[in-house]
Amino acid sequence: MTREVWITGQGLLSPLGQDLETTWAGLHDPAAIAAAADTGFLPPFTIFPASLPPLDKFVPKRGDQRAMGPLMLSGCVAAAMAMEQAGLAGAAPEVLKQINLMVGVGGGERDEKVDETILAALNGRDDGNLLAEQLQTELRPTLFLAQLPNLFAGNISIVLGVSGSSRTFMGEEAAGVDAVRVAFERIQGGQADLFLVGSAFNASRQDIPLLYQAGGYLLEDPKRPFWQRPKAGMCLGSAGAFLVIESRESAEARGAKPLARLKAVVNDRCRRDPGQATANAAREWAQVAPKPGCAVLSAATGVGPVTAEEHDFLLAKVNGPDQVQVRATAAALGHSMECAFVTNLVLAIKAARTGKLFPALTDDPVEAAPARDFDQVVVSTWGHRRGEGLALVERI
Amino acid sequence: MASRAVAVTGIGIVTSLGQGAEENWQKLVAGESGIHRITRFPTDNLRTTIGGSVDFLLEQPFSATQLSFALARTAAEEAIAQAKIGAPGDFPGDLFLASPPVEHEWPQRVRLDRQAPGQPHTYAGMMGAAAQAGEDLYVDFLNGTIADKLADEFGTKGSPITLTTACASGATAIQLGVEAIRRGQTKAALAIGTDGSIHMEALIRFTLLSALSTNNEDPTKAARPFGKGRDGFVMAEGAGALVLEDAEAARARGATILGYIRGVGEAADTFHRTRSNPSGEAIIRAINNALGDAGITPDDVDYINAHGTSTPENDKMEAFGIQAVFGDKAGDVPVSSNKSMIGHALTAAGAVEAVISILTLQHQVLPPTINHDGPQDIPLDFVPNEARPAHVDLILSNSFGFGGQNVCLVIGRNPD
């Protein structure tokens, strides 16, 4: 069975705005993009923070607001937007029981002040008894995201009443791709009808950037050309992004209007020996078979040399018979890790509906193809370390 | 919907009782407990000092990632060897891995703090040391690393999935594999649940939530699922691995089929972050969804492998849910909890218990709920204290998670 998959709702929070329209406008505005970059929070690194809208509209209960940190709130707000646009906000319990929740997220709500207090007390010693005493004094009796990452989804279920199912994928960029992919496959294969799927990432932290800096991935000089950076080429950016996707039959039965068609979602991995990622991407491109002249929203991370490899792959598509137009959104939004793919899917809806892109975000020839109208948008996601994913969004 | 039967052709298991199906089964039917005093870190001033840690696989020190990987690899090796599928390093199907979230632990933070070039005891200082500190501080603490290493080692195909649905995770991994096979996407899947995350902060965080048993005196008596005096779960480690196959493809290659995943069902609870709805709605719905998916009725179920964590709340609600679904006949269906012996292996539990369910079908013996003495307050047959021979064709295996994720599996001896 192969069924058509429609996108009927979207929600987006980005460093450029608190919804898709504002973000889209910001992508046209070099001053807004420059203003979105923050060099003061985590010097010498640049991050792209995002702010939350007033919460009461999206998370009405104060208790729910208090139960979540910025990461979970970003997800909850974006999910609420997507549900509202799809006409599912406040739906009857019978409907909510049919909605499957799929998310791809990481951790990141440690109390950093507590960690620093305990480190000061330990003062470099491996003293288990002292650590035990400190942890028992300093930690609060609350549920903790790094212990239960499914709380991200659990809170969305509680706030929005979505109760069909709830699954959380982990594992950096690929987790975001696979969350959408598995939902897509289940709809296409007739196993389920209706999904709320998405992710969030909070760059305004220290624990998560510390992890990526331990890998040597954070960019110090933001003036380095995006597509040709060294390994230390990544600026993290905050985001929250959700979609409602469903079978065409489901959307028509409940009178929901499609925003776009989700034609394909594929993902694979390799050990990243030279050329392997390109081989994966080429195979996926052939499988997805986008029309010549389509747009490509790349979630390239800036991390070299893989970003340069993706650049070469895409430049061949720009100059060859595919004649694609490319934009690297992380150059304006920062890299939102698990959320990068879904963020670009939301942007792809707008691009597919209007047939137009925002101006080039880098000076590289890969973004210099002449503007022409299109009705298909490829979303390409090569993870900073693993995962090569591709999706195709199409105007209806 | 037309769908393909899904066979289990290989199983692997590691728990606090030991390594491998044979050793685990012998100890389970003997009613042995794997719970012991924790020696991995000092517990002198902790409220809980016991656990089902797996201390025989790796030399200390190790991180949760390293142990979770070692557990998963050990279980997967056993399962793949039994299934005799593919070639070494070339498993012909997808990987679905339930594994605990990881992040830097205290040894890593202290190590970074010691190396900080300035601003001691701060994240800013650690950030200054991070790039030179060693790549293990990055690779070992990515959530995708365990699946990535398993994909390399076993040669699974496609993008490996790492998932969590808290204490239901292991069952969700199986469910994802079953769904992929049913829609014809793959002929085989490797479903693994693993958890090696007993470290000090994890234990203390669960303690602060009042979730853990403090019956420290005799560790083997601490886990008391469904019993009076149960006062919390016992944290444990382990892994369960299953080779799942399109039954037709398995038969065609002459594989020995150990059992079938007949049904999968799930439901999310929107009531509260740790408590289930007092109506039991989501638990009941998850059980009914699994039975419905298998095309069976409660009357067909021969035995229930319970979630049975030994917390006052879970066991009350689970028994309530069973009574609601099975009605007057609830008392006739034997229900037992493996966690009475192996503790609660959290992310791994659903997969470990699915493996034990397969063993139950093979041996036609029900493992007991141990530590079940004194008067009962729940009128169900918990297979108290001693294993029991029985005719078992269909097993319902329950997994209910903190955060409201509920997953049930129907595991059968026959394809239909």
pLDDT for A119: 98
Of B116, B139, B162, the residue at which a domain comes to its end is B139
- Are A353 and A368 part of one and the same domain? yes
Q: Domain ends where: B85, B116, B139?
A: B139
Least confident span in B65-79, B336-350, B391-405:
B391-405
Which of A203, A226, A260 delimits the end of a domain?
Answer: A260
Q: B391 catalytic, yes or no?
A: no
Contacts of B126 in chain A (CB under 8 A): 210
Q: Count of CB atoms within 10 A of residue A74's CB?
A: 30
Q: Does residue A127 belong to any structural domain of this protein?
A: no
In the predicted model, what is the mean pLDDT of chain A?
A: 96
Helical packing angle, B106-115 and A112-122, nearest 10°:
70
User: What are the CA-CA distances from residue B110 to residues A180, A209, B67 (Å)?
Assistant: 38, 17, 20
Complex confidence, ipTM: 0.97
Contact A13, A198 (CB under 8 A): no
Q: Please check whether residue B1 lies inside any domain of the structure.
A: no
Tell me whether residue A73 is in a domain: yes
Token pair of A290, please? Answer: 């986008």
pLDDT in tens, A170-199: 999 999 999 999 999 999 999 999 999 999
Q: Are residues A339 and A390 in the same domain?
A: yes
Residue B348 falls inside a structural domain? yes
Please indicate, yes or no, if residue A380 is contained in any of the structural domains. yes
User: Does residue B166 form part of some domain?
Assistant: yes
Residue A370, C-beta contacts closer than 8 angstroms, at least 6 positions apart? none
In angstroms, the separation between the Cα of residue A372 and the nearest Cα of chain B is 34
Contact A203, B190 (CB under 8 A): no
Scan for tokens 């960019």, then name that residue.
A219
- Does B167 qualify as catalytic in the annotation? yes
Structural domain total, chain B: 2
- Rounded CA gap, B375 and A345, in Å? 58
Span B240-259, mean pLDDT?
Answer: 98
Residues A94 and A206 in one domain: yes
Q: Tokens 């975000």 identify what position?
A: A361
Q: Note whether residue A268 is domain-resident.
A: yes
Claim to verify: residue B355 and residue B248 sit in the same structural domain: yes
> Is the CB of residue B27 less than 8 Å from the CB of residue B359?
no
What pLDDT score was predicted for residue A25? 98
B145 and B132, same domain (yes or no) = no
> What are the tokens at B100?
């605990």
Which residue among B143, B180, B266 sits closest to A172, beta carbon to beta carbon? B143
User: Is there a domain that residue A49 lies in?
Assistant: yes
**Residue A273 CB-density burial (10 A; 0-12 exposed, 13-18 middle, 19+ buried):** exposed
Indicate if A376 and A364 belong to the same structural domain: yes
Q: Are residues B210 and B124 in the same domain?
A: no
Tell me the per-residue pLDDT of A113-163, one tens digit each, with 9 for 90 and over: 999 999 999 999 999 999 999 999 999 887 777 677 888 999 999 999 999
* B87-137 per-position pLDDT tens digit: 999 999 999 999 999 999 999 999 999 999 999 999 999 999 998 988 899
Q: What is the mean pLDDT of residues A198-223?
A: 95
Among residues B167, B199, B372, B408, the one annotated as catalytic is: B167
Domain that holds residue A69: 5-111+142-260
Residues, chain A: 396
Contacts with B124 from chain A: Cβ below 8 Å: 206
Computed over its alpha carbons, how large is the radius of gyration of chain B? 21
What are the structure tokens assigned to A315, written together? 């430049």
Do the chains contact at A124 and B113, CB–CB below 8 Å? Answer: yes
| Co-location of A38 and A175 in the same domain | yes
pLDDT digits (tens, 9 = 90+) for A35-48: 999 999 999 999 99
Q: Specify whether A390 is located in the same domain as A352.
A: yes
Instruction: State which of A260, A288, A314 marks the end of a domain.
Output: A260
Cβ under 8 Å to A: B residues 156-175: 158-166, 172
Q: Would strands B303-305 and A99-104 be described as parallel, antiparallel, or unpaired? A: unpaired
- Domain membership of residue A137 (yes or no) is no
Q: Are residues A254 and A306 in the same domain?
A: no
| Of the candidates A201, A200, A206, A182, the residue with the CA atom closest to the CA atom of residue A192 | A182
Q: CB–CB of A191 and B179 under 8 A?
A: yes
Asked, for residue A28, whether it belongs to a domain, the answer is yes
For residues A226 and A356, state if they share a domain. Answer: no
Q: Are residues B247 and B183 in the same domain?
A: yes
pLDDT at B2 over 60: no
Q: What is the pLDDT of residues B298-350, one digit of tens each?
A: 999 999 999 999 999 999 999 999 999 999 999 999 999 999 999 999 999 99
B144, part of any domain: yes
Is the domain of A214 the same as that of A270?
Answer: no
Q: Does B153 touch chain A (CB under 8 A)?
A: no
The three-state secondary structure class of A69 is: coil
Q: How far is CA B105 from CA A47, B138, B149, in A?
A: 25, 12, 20
Mind listing the pLDDT tens digit for each residue in A313-331?
999 999 999 999 999 999 9
Residue A69 tokens, joined: 């940190």
Indicate the pLDDT class of residue A257, thresholds 50, 70 and 90. very high
- What is the spatial distance between Cα B105 and Cα B94, in angstroms, rounded to a whole number? 30
What is the residue-wise DSSP string for A179-234?
HHHHHHHHHHTTS-SEEEEEEEE--S-SHHHHHHHHTT-B-S-TTS-GGG--SS-B
Rounded mean pLDDT, A104-112: 88
Q: Are both B22 and B57 inside the same structural domain?
A: yes
A:B CB pairs within 8 Å? 252
| Structural domain includes residue B272 | yes
- φ and ψ at residue A346, rounded to 5 degrees: -65, -45
Mark whether B170 and B217 lie in a shared domain: yes
3-state secondary structure string across chain B: CCCCCEEEEEEEEEECCEECHHHHHHHHHCCCCCCEECCCCCCCCCCCCEEECCCCCCCCCCCHHHHHHHHHHHHHHHHHHHHCCCECCECCCEEEEECCCCCCCHHHHHHHHHHCCCCCCCHHHHHHHHCCCCCHHHHCCCCCHHHHHHHHHHCCCCCCEEEEECECHHHHHHHHHHHHHHCCCCCEEEEEEEECCCCHHHHHHHHHCCCECCCCCCHHHCCCCCCCCCCCECEECEEEEEEEEEHHHHHHCCCCCCEEEEEEEEEECCCCCCCCCCCCHHHHHHHHHHHHHHCCCHHHCCEEECCCCCCHHHHHHHHHHHHHHHHHHHHHCCEECCHHHHCECHHHHHHHHHHHHHHHHHHCEECCECCCCCCCCCCCCCCECCCEECCCCEEEEEEECCCCEEEEEEEECCCC
B206 with B320, same domain: the answer is yes
Contact B308, B344 (CB under 8 A): no
B252, exposed or middle or buried, with CB in 10 Å at 0-12, 13-18, 19+?
exposed
d(CA B240, CA B191): 8
Domain C-terminal end among A204, A232, A260? A260
Closest Cβ opposite residue A170 in set B123, B143, B180: B143
CATH assignment of the domain containing A207: 3.40.47.10
3-state secondary structure of A324: coil
Domain count, chain A: 2
Half-sphere exposure of A347 (CA within 13 A, CB side): 36
Answer yes or no: do B118 and B84 share one domain: no
Is the same domain home to A315 and A334? Answer: yes
Q: Which residues of A129-141 are buried (b: 16+ CB within 10 A; e: fewer)?
A: eebbbbbeeebee
Q: What's the confidence (pLDDT) of residue B276?
A: 73
Q: B25: Cβ–Cβ under 8 A, 6 or more apart, which residues?
A: B356, B359, B363
Q: Both B125 and B158 in a single domain?
A: no
Beta bridge partners of A377: A295, A393
Q: Are both A159 and A211 inside the same structural domain?
A: yes
Asked if residue A54 belongs to a domain, the reply is: yes
Contacts of B287 (CB under 8 A, 6+ apart): B265, B321, B322, B325, B396, B398, B408
Instruction: Answer whether A215 sits within 8 Å of B273, measured CB to CB.
Output: no
CATH number of the domain within which B69 lies: 3.40.47.10
- Residue B349: per-residue pLDDT: 98
Tokens coding A159: 């706030």
| Contact call for B144 and A126, based on CB within 8 A | no
Backbone φ and ψ for A380, nearest 5 degrees, come out as -110, 130
Residues of B in contact with A170 (CB under 8 A): 99, 101, 143-144, 162-164
pLDDT at residue B1, rounded to an integer? 43
Instruction: Give the strand pairing for B94-98 and B161-164.
Output: parallel
Taking the CA of residue A365 as centre, how many other CA atoms within 13 Å lie in the half-sphere pointing to its CB?
10
Same-domain status, B155 and B94:
yes
Q: Compute the C-alpha angle B56/B62/B64, nearest 5°.
A: 95
Residues B123 and B244 in one domain: no
Residues A53 and A168 in one domain: yes
> B104 catalytic, yes or no?
no
Q: For residue B62, tell me if it sits in a domain.
A: yes
Domain that holds residue B333: 6-102+140-412
Cross-chain residue pair B405–A271, CB shorter than 8 Å: no
Average per-residue pLDDT for chain B: 96
Q: Do residues B264 and B155 share a domain?
A: yes
